[in-house]
Amino acid sequence: MSPQDDQRDGVLIVDDDSGFRSVVEELLQAFGYEVVCAENGSVALDLLRRGLRPSIILLDLMMPEINGWEFLALKRQEPALANIPVAILSGVDSLEAKAATLDACALLKKPLDLDTLLAVVARTQ
């Protein structure tokens, strides 16, 4: 999936943990999904502004530069990006209540349950 693809396809993983990104990317690719990764919200927004249109964004909340909350606020301001579904990734129990108030299609708790991850991604394809 290149940044210029205007069709909605695949998964964008936004997480600052490179090991986590790699594992989730490999898992999703093993199940036939196209995956693009970004290490923070700034990189993700740049990819989206250049035309990347994933079917879903898997978004960590706690990241440097532009964190998950800031990313969501900026994404909502751009009509071309506003309707792309986002699943929140959270490894911190105290964030669950806050994350539940965000406009997200799912809240996925780290460590991820593979069946739950695949079900959430499949709903958006």
- Closest among 111, 108, 109 to 120, alpha carbons compared: 108
Continuous segment of H or E residues that includes residue 112: none
Residue tagged 């739950």 (tokens): 116
Tens place of pLDDT per residue across the chain (125 aa): 444 444 457 999 999 999 999 999 999 999 999 999 999 999 999 999 999 999 999 999 989 999 999 999 999 999 999 999 999 998 777 666 666 678 889 989 889 999 999 999 999 98
Query: Residues 69-93, buried b or exposed e (16+ Cβ, 10 A)?
Result: bbbbebbeeeeebeebbbbbbbbee
The CATH number of the structural domain formed by 11-123 is: 3.40.50.2300
The residues spanned by each domain of the chain are 11-123
Instruction: Output the pTM of the full model.
Output: 0.90
